[in-house]
């Protein structure tokens, strides 16, 4: 599917193409190539075609089904869909069909979009390569020997492969932006609280945020506009007025102050030379387009990794306590409830999830709380201070999204710490709750996609899309 | 920073988290958690003495709503997703008389 979401919606709304035809084309593309990519855990063909027929019926009746009318979308499989399996790519949710839809799912449907399936992820969104899935890895559509990144690797691959023009992922430490970079698509982590988390299976509640993947900046903005906004079902949902980001895309970057983060463009931090070269090219392009570009130091940002790998597991160890074989999913029978819970969790969780649950439990346990979790929260405050200082001088910040292009399957699975280093540039935005996006900016020395990250202060989504549109335009 | 995490620590934490580990897993996790926690000691370079912890990116407050009856999840649909249910409740194996 090479057409953009906006052009498809335009064709469907004008009656030029039927939603059924558009959805069928998406399903055909999936059937033809997902066998080798494995972006999807579940394809909901019948439901999708039925939903497409409802959109077509509304158009025939002279109604407007919404700005994303007939657009096929894919959902990360940790977003609840009523009556459709939601697995988190974990054995522990085996057989669970949620009794409700996530708010983002309702909002996409309200905008006329049509869900074609649920995409693969690292189990419970814990990982950077989608290799931690109980159902096998997803492969990068640009090179099947490489990972798509993670944890939202299935959603990124589904857009990169042309299966769908739009998909949703969740980003706790880079899980939208890093796979977007590795798959050569746009990926957006909104401001914490901008998009309702209701119906997102929680990993780390103070860090998780849902956001879109798209092939173009305009499509990503349109999808963000459809899902963002206050929701009474999420108590951390922000009530500030919402700006339509789609309106900001053509504003250009003249006069904008862009800071290139020194600590994230340093080869000593493990950033590959070809990725650095593309980041500098992006900075040059913004300068040529009229922005003021300077280097800026955000000294505490590099400590984000250490803080994150204590805070996120701590929150996860608490959130994942609910998977105990009582209310949903897997139960391994045993004579007593305690034995049943232990047997269920031992059989149901994969190795990375167990590792993080234990790390978090340890960081929160008596005698270690102050040394680990408490200290990590202080580092988090320092990082926020440093970003706030940077935003006194700059409108947006620029960095690579991922230290390298897509790596080969199996090369980092035996060493968790090496895998975690993938997130060094993306984690700080989650810790401070600020928005950030990844936009494709050419290829590395291996011919694989490179993404650059644009970061901004809270609620600066319009500005980020505006800068991303300028970068996208500079490549055209 | 505390001493490097030991095999006994990992065994204790697994028990708290309701996970059973084989000897091999215990070995591997002790090694891996040790490496991750050691990496985290890089924050020792920071002066955190007068820094207040930040547990959440937003100034979170309790959010209240009026206590009015509204739509709720369908009881049968929810219980239908449980591994076992009986008489409108979740059913679990014996609880009384077991070791905690």
DSSP class of residue A327?
Answer: S
How much is the pLDDT for B98?
55
B84 part of contact set with chain A, CB < 8 Å: yes
| Nearest CA-CA distance, residue A442 and chain B, Å | 33
Domain count, chain B: 1
How much is the pLDDT for B65?
84
A125 within a domain of the structure (yes/no): yes
Q: What percent of chain B lies above the pLDDT cut of 70?
A: 95
State how far the Cα of A56 lies from the Cα of A49, in Å rounded to an integer.
Answer: 10
How much is the pLDDT for B99?
56
Domain count, chain A: 1
- Cβ–Cβ < 8 Å for A51, A83: no
Per-residue pLDDT at B1 exceeds 80 = no
pLDDT digits (tens, 9 = 90+) for A349-395: 999 999 999 999 999 998 899 999 999 999 999 999 999 999 999 99
A277 part of contact set with chain B, CB < 8 Å: no
Q: Which of A254, A291, A261 is nearest to A389 (CA)?
A: A261
B5 within a domain of the structure (yes/no): yes
Handedness of CA A424, A429, A433, A438 (dihedral sign): negative
Q: Which residues of A touch B40 (CB under 8 A)?
A: 306, 309-310, 372, 376
A131 within a domain of the structure (yes/no): yes
A446 within a domain of the structure (yes/no): no
Q: Is A448 helix (H, G, I), strand (E, B) or coil?
A: coil
A28 within a domain of the structure (yes/no): yes
The per-residue pLDDT of chain A, averaged, comes to: 97
Q: What range defines the domain where residue A42 resides?
A: 5-248
Q: What range defines the domain where residue B7 resides?
A: 1-46
> What are the beta bridge partners of residue A436?
A189, A455
Q: How confident is the model at residue A1 (pLDDT cuts 50, 70, 90)?
A: low
Write the CATH number for A47: 3.90.1300.10
Q: Which of B1, B52, B73 sits opposite A99 (nearest CB)?
A: B73
pLDDT digits (tens, 9 = 90+) for B70-97: 888 999 999 999 999 999 999 999 887 6
- Cβ–Cβ < 8 Å for A214, A189: no
Q: Which of A330, A362, A384 sits opposite B5 (nearest CB)?
A: A362
B8 within a domain of the structure (yes/no): yes
Within 21-60 of B, beta carbons closer than 8 Å to A belong to 25, 29, 32-33, 35-37, 39-43, 45-46, 48, 51-58, 60
Write the CATH number for B24: 1.10.20.60
For the ranges A124-138, A215-229, A394-408, B39-53, the lowest mean pLDDT is seen at B39-53
pLDDT digits (tens, 9 = 90+) for A295-347: 999 999 999 999 999 999 999 999 999 999 999 999 999 999 999 999 999 99
Enumerate residues 6+ apart whose C-beta is below 8 A from A170.
A76, A78, A79, A125, A151, A152, A176, A200, A203, A208, A209, A210, A211
Write phi, then psi, for A172 (nearest 5 degrees). -105, -30
Contact A333 B93 (CB under 8 A): yes
B15 within a domain of the structure (yes/no): yes
Q: Which residues of A touch B36 (CB under 8 A)?
A: 309, 359, 416-417, 420
Q: Which residues of B touch A340 (CB under 8 A)?
A: 92-93
């Amino acid at each position: 599917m090479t057409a953009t979401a906006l052009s498809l919606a335009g064709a469907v709304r004008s009656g030029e193409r039927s939603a059924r035809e558009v959805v069928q084309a998406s399903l055909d593309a999936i059937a033809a190539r997902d066998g080798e990519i494995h972006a999807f855990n579940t394809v909901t063909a019948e439901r999708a075609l039925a939903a497409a027929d409802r959109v077509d019926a509304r158009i025939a009746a002279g109604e407007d089904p919404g700005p994303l009318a007939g657009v096929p979308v894919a959902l990360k499989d940790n977003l609840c869909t009523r009556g459709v399996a939601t697995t988190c790519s974990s054995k522990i949710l085996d057989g669970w069909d949620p009794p409700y839809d996530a708010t983002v799912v309702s909002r996409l449907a309200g905008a006329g979009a049509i869900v074609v399936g649920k995409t693969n992820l690292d189990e419970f969104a814990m990982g950077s390569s989608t290799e931690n899935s109980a159902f096998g890895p997803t492969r990068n559509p640009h090179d099947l020997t490489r990972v798509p990144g993670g944890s939202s690797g299935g959603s990124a691959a589904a857009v990169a492969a042309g299966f769908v023009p739009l998909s949703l992922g969740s980003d706790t430490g880079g899980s939208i932006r890093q796979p977007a970079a590795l798959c050569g698509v746009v990926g957006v982590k909104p401001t914490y609280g901008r998009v309702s988390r209701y119906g997102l299976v929680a990993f780390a509640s103070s860090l998780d945020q849902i956001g879109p993947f798209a092939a173009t900046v305009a499509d990503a903005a349109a999808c963000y506009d459809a899902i963002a906004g206050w929701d009474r079902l999420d108590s951390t949902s922000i009530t500030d007025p919402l700006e339509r980001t789609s309106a900001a895309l053509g504003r250009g970057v003249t006069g904008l102050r862009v800071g290139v983060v020194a600590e994230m463009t340093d080869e000593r931090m493990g950033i590959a030379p070809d990725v650095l070269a593309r980041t500098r090219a992006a900075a040059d392009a913004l300068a040529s387009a009229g922005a003021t570009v300077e280097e800026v130091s955000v000294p505490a940002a590099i400590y984000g990794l250490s803080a994150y790998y204590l805070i996120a597991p701590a929150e996860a160890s608490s959130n994942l306590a609910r998977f105990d074989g009582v209310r949903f999913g897997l139960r391994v029978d045993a004579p007593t409830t305690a034995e049943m819970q232990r047997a269920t969790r031992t059989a149901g969780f994969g190795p990375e999830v167990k590792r993080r649950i234990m790390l978090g439990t340890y960081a929160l346990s008596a005698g270690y709380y102050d040394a680990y979790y408490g200290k990590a929260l202080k580092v988090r405050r320092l990082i926020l201070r440093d970003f706030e200082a940077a935003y006194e001088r700059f409108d947006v910040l620029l960095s690579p999204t991922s230290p390298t292009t897509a790596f080969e399957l199996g090369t980092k699975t035996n060493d968790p710490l090496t895998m975690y280093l993938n997130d060094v540039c993306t984690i700080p935005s989650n810790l401070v709750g600020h928005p950030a996006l990844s936009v494709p900016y050419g290829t590395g020395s291996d011919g694989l996609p490179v993404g650059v990250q644009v970061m901004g202060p809270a609620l600066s989504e319009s500005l980020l899309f505006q800068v991303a549109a300028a970068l996208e335009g500079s490549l055209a | 920073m505390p001493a490097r995490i030991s095999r006994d620590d990992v065994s204790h934490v697994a028990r708290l988290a309701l996970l059973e580990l084989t000897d091999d897993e215990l070995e591997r996790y002790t090694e891996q958690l040790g490496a991750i926690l050691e990496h985290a000691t890089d924050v020792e370079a920071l002066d955190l003495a007068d820094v207040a912890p930040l547990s959440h990116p937003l100034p979170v407050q309790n959010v209240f709503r009026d206590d009015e009856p509204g739509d709720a999840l369908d009881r049968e649909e929810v219980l239908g997703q449980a591994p076992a249910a009986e008489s409108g409740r979740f059913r679990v194996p014996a609880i009384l008389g077991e070791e905690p």
